[in-house]
Amino acid sequence: MKDVAHKVVLITGGHSGLGKCMARLFSQLGAVLVLWGTNATQLRAAAEEISRETGNAVHWFAVDVTDRALVYRTAQAVQSKIGPVDILLNNAGLVSGKSIFDASYDDALAERVFAVNTTAHLWTIRAFVPEMMRRNEGHVVCVSSAGAMVGISGLAEYCASKSGAFGLNESLRRELKSRGCDGVHTTVVCPYFFNSGMFRGVQSRIIPIMDEKYVAECIVRAIREERQFLGLPRLIHYFPLFLNAVLPVDVLDKVYDLFGLSKAMHSFVGKAKI
């Protein structure tokens, strides 16, 4: 597996939830961490906590990843102060959790969901990947979602935005290959629901809701193994693509109803972002 000791690992949304879990694991492996997020207080606390536990350097920058100019400025500051980023982990996520026909649906929040979940990946890729290409060394990780492959009722903008991130990173992989940058790797992660605050209250039949720490461990392992795609749980790795390819739409809908995807969000009480 890839040794990440002394490698610079930048994690967006790294101050809480899944991002913080992955940050802790990378720091335990000896990586130099750079945490990005919008909440300076939480960022400072997370950085100090992880650094105290592991004895390794943890840097943090308050960044709204939807602000293109701020992303570019902060990226320059990171590379000047700390050095080239070896692993870019686009983890920050946002969800509204409402039906698009709900009377209280927030149009502005829906736009921000796309900005955080999709467009922000473009800004961070443009900010950090050219240097990876110049060195022909690096790794770009996209935390997408099983919802990128399966539309879920009540998660229209979330599924669409995660699908956009998936497509962006697939295109990135092919573009890197076409330019001969075989030392720059990509990994797209599509997890099912897990027990973070982001999806608090969600219910699932048949497929159990996963533990956040387990998801973090699987992602870090996939990065170190330089896997191009990770579906979690393993069923997600193959099942949606197979079903979409072989089943008629009406039968497919019944299968997803059986899994509880039509009503999974009815009990949603989660917070908007991580």
Could you tell me the CA-to-CA distances from 45 to 41, 68, 152, 215, 246 in Å, in that order? 6, 26, 35, 22, 49
Distance between CA atoms of 70 and 266, rounded to whole angstroms? 37
- Are the C-beta atoms of residues 39 and 14 closer than 8 Å to each other? no
Longest dimension (CA), the chain: 55
Secondary structure (3-state) at 13:
coil
Catalytic option among 72, 105, 158, 256: 158
- Are the C-beta atoms of residues 35 and 65 closer than 8 Å to each other? no
Backbone angles phi, psi at 118, to 5 degrees: -125, -65
- 158 annotated active-site: yes
Q: How far is CA 173 from the centre of its chain?
A: 16
**Radius of gyration of the chain, Cα coordinates, nearest whole angstrom:** 18
Count, residues in the chain:
274
Helix and strand numbers (H, E) in the chain are 9, 7
The catalytic residue positions are 158
